Amino acid sequence: MSKNPMFGTNLLAGKIPLTAKAKEFQDYVTDAMQRSSLFMDVMRKRGNEMVDMTKDNSSTVLNFKFEKLMDGSSFERPINYWLARMLPPEGVVTDNNKRPYVIQDPRAGQGPGIGGFKKDSEIGDALKNGHPVYFVGFNSTPVDGQTYEDIIKGQVKFYESS
């Protein structure tokens, strides 16, 4: 029996003798209630995280600090992409004479920033080896009227500037 005060209280304990089957059923119901409560708490936390992530249209799951250099929403033909310079972690120095890496965030549905969401990623490896790293990310909401041609032309501007 659980020691959790919310679930561990058995109001009928000692008052009504339970058969083995009734005791098993009581344990099953208690377990189901506890698991349901834990599941709902996980869903609440997940929902809160989703709300926090979607408050900002350009939020990412990147695990690295970055400095946004260009925002495609300000272009003559706006796009929902942006260019950032990834800031190296403490103790890591990048050499601007080394070949820069430009990492394009894959639009695979996991959320913006998935290409660098952990230390052992393309971004992490390039920074660790002293390369300057740039990241082309995207906002979760497309710009009205944006075409593939607009995106290509906008990204060419990113590559030319980095």
Alpha-carbon 22 to chain mean position: 45
Give Cα 133 to chain centroid, integer Å: 20
pLDDT of residue 120: 64
Report yes or no on whether pTM surpasses 0.85: no
Asked if 132 and 69 count as a contact pair (C-beta separation under 8 A), the reply is: no
β-pair partners for 137: 82
Q: What residues form DSSP beta bridges with 103?
A: 135
- Give the amino acid at 82: W
What is the pLDDT, as a whole number, of residue 104?
84
pLDDT tens, per residue, the chain with 162 residues: 455 555 555 656 667 777 889 889 999 999 999 999 999 999 999 998 878 767 765 556 677 888 999 999 899 999 989 999 999 888 889 999 999 998 887 765 555 445 555 566 788 888 889 999 998 888 877 788 889 999 999 989 988 886
Roughly how many angstroms between the first and final C-alpha of the chain, as a whole number?
Answer: 62
Q: Cα–Cα distance between 161 and 85 in angstroms, integer?
A: 11
- C-alpha to C-alpha distance for 94 and 131, rounded to whole angstroms: 5
pLDDT the model gives residue 17: 77
The reported pLDDT for the residue numbered 112 is 47
The owner of tokens 């060419």 is: 156
Tokens of 137: 């990310």
pLDDT score for 7: 56
In this prediction, residue 78 carries a pLDDT of 93
Round the CA-based radius of gyration of the chain to a whole number and report it. Answer: 26
No. of helices (H) and no. of strands (E), the chain: 3, 4
Quote the pLDDT of residue 67: 92
